[in-house]
Structure 1
Amino acid sequence: MKHIISKACKVLFISATVASLSVFAAPEDLVRSSIQAAIPQYPIESIKLHEGTGLYVVSLGGGPVLHVSTDGKSFIAGDVYRVETNGIVNETELAKIQQVEDMPLDQMVVYPAKGEEKAHISVFTDVDCGYCRMLHKEVTALNEKGITVRYLGFPRAGTGSAAHAKLISIWCSDDPQKWMTEAKLGKVVPTSNCENPIAEQYQLGQAVGVRGTPSIVLSNGKFIPGYLPADELAKELGL
């Protein structure tokens, strides 16, 4: 609790100047215009009203999550916590995780559940790390348990690295599922290039706290920073 209070004391509350905004503008438009004017270096990825606080949650590409007043004149850059009877919930962390959930499926490499989907996991992955390869061997077992596996690219050596190029080749191949598996068996993926989301996914991973691969976001909101076998992942999902 001392850590939380200390962190809360460091939350930066900044007044943003709103220029030439119509008094008839919708709150979301006020928020967008204000943040774009105040922090132009970060693109706005999403704006959602948080019913609990009455603030708008603004996700910035490569930047922090902000909680913004409805008039767009003030924002909090820091963690916001909700007090529950059985503890506290970090609303800012939940907002970051939601960005993963909002990533379009057609930008991931997806291995769908067999039959009815009971849950899904989103995995930030490299192709060369040993634990990423161990997890990939569990994909069939996960699918048979009704769990869809959704891969996002996270080259551990950063964008522009050889690992980044391998992930691009997988995403741009004629069969990303096949070549993801081949790459994790140590085989060479034919070089390919196209418009791809790997750099964006890498930035998203950094924003949600990925420090290594695999890092797993469960559909129930839990974040698993490392490898777990299929049976343990199923338990974490309540299956």
Structure 2
Amino acid sequence: MTRRFRIGAASLAMATAALLSVSTTISASEAQTIRAALAKVLPDAKPTSVQPTPIDGLFQVEIGPQVMYMTGDGRYLIDGAIVDLETRENLAEKAQNEARQRVVDALGKDQMIVFEAPNAKHEITVFTDIDCGYCRKLHQQIEGYAEEGISVRYLFYPRTGVDTPSYDKAVSVWCADDQQAAMTDAKNGKPVDSQACNNPVQRHMELGELMGIRGTPAIILENGQMVPGFVEPKRLVQVLEQS
């Protein structure tokens, strides 16, 4: 399997409720066949959506932020570009972006650290690592993003993993009385008081894993498109307006 299909039961429960919604144009037998075939290769996977595609006999299957395609007989699974040659639209990419954004939005802002722009026109979600150089560079421009009307929603993705210094810093920032000030201090290399509390850091990491994030910062645009790396404010607002 490709990297997109690394699925664990805990991650799926976090990402979205494991409910199968079947379009009225897909038969019950086809839905059951697809579910049964998928269960053989991905026993922990619970489809959150099975929908028909413009291609007869091919169905779009979503598992949280992941999208794949299966034939109605459950024999073939397709992972890759599906392009409408008339419109030149990549149907798979569009579906993947939409699924990614739905799951990110489902977390809710109360599970993020948010830097709101005063006159917000756009909103991005950034998977960040406090000790990542380019993550720090991005945060140093936080006022620049605000000036461009871009609100920044942070999710934590300490690349060194759970129970490491980077992870502990993320937890301490989350548990701080003033999360924004603590985030800024940590990004500037200043010490943050060690704290512990109920926090979503590991859930953020699991979501990032499901999305296949390999590095930070990883920026999720409003349409669900993922942009890897640092993008300066004026360039980013152009990207947002073109997306």
Give the TM-score normalised by structure 2.
Answer: 0.71
The alpha carbon displacement at 1:107 in A equals 0.9
CA distance in 2, matches of 1:45, 1:124: 25
Give the SS at the match of 2:241.
Answer: coil
CA distance in 1, matches of 2:178, 2:47: 29
CA distance in 2, matches of 1:195, 1:75: 42
> Which structure dedicates a bigger proportion of its chain to strand?
1
Which of 128, 131, 134 is the equivalent residue of 2:131?
Answer: 128
CA distance in 1, matches of 2:47, 2:177: 29
The alpha carbon displacement at 1:194 in A equals 2.5
Taking the TM superposition and a 5 Å limit, the aligned residue runs for 1:45-64 are: 46-47=48-49, 49=51, 52=54, 55=59, 57-60=61-64
Q: 1:131 to 1:78 in 2, by over 3 A?
A: same
State the AA in 1 paired with 2:239: E
Q: Taking CA–CA contacts closer than 8 Å with sequence separation of 6 or more, which of the two structures ends up with the larger relative contact order?
A: 2
Give the SS at the match of 1:58.
Answer: strand
Work out whether residues 59 and 70 of structure 2, in 8 Å CA contact, stay in contact via their aligned partners in 1.
yes
Tell me the equivalent position of 2:79: 78
Which of 100, 112, 116 is the equivalent residue of 1:108?
Answer: 112
Tell me the equivalent position of 2:194: 191
Which of 154, 160, 163 is the equivalent residue of 2:163?
Answer: 160
- Matched residue count: 211
CA distance in 1, matches of 2:47, 2:126: 20
- The C-alpha deviation readout for 1:161-211, integer Å capped at 9, x for no partner, is 221111111122222211111100111122222232222222322332322
The alpha carbon displacement at 1:33 in A equals 7.3
State the AA in 2 paired with 1:76: L
Work out whether residues 68 and 79 of structure 2, in 8 Å CA contact, stay in contact via their aligned partners in 1.
yes
The alpha carbon displacement at 1:52 in A equals 4.9
Which of 226, 232, 235 is the equivalent residue of 1:232?
Answer: 235
The alpha carbon displacement at 1:68 in A equals 5.9
The percentage of aligned residue pairs carrying the same residue is: 33
CA distance in 1, matches of 2:211, 2:198: 23
Gaps of 5+ in 2: 1-19
**CA RMSD for the aligned pairs?**
3.4
Work out whether residues 62 and 99 of structure 2, in 8 Å CA contact, stay in contact via their aligned partners in 1.
no
- The C-alpha deviation readout for 1:94-131, integer Å capped at 9, x for no partner, is 2553233433221111111212x211111110011111
Give the TM-score normalised by structure 1.
Answer: 0.72
Tell me the equivalent position of 1:14: none
> Which structure dedicates a bigger proportion of its chain to helix?
2
Gaps of 5+ in 1: 1-24
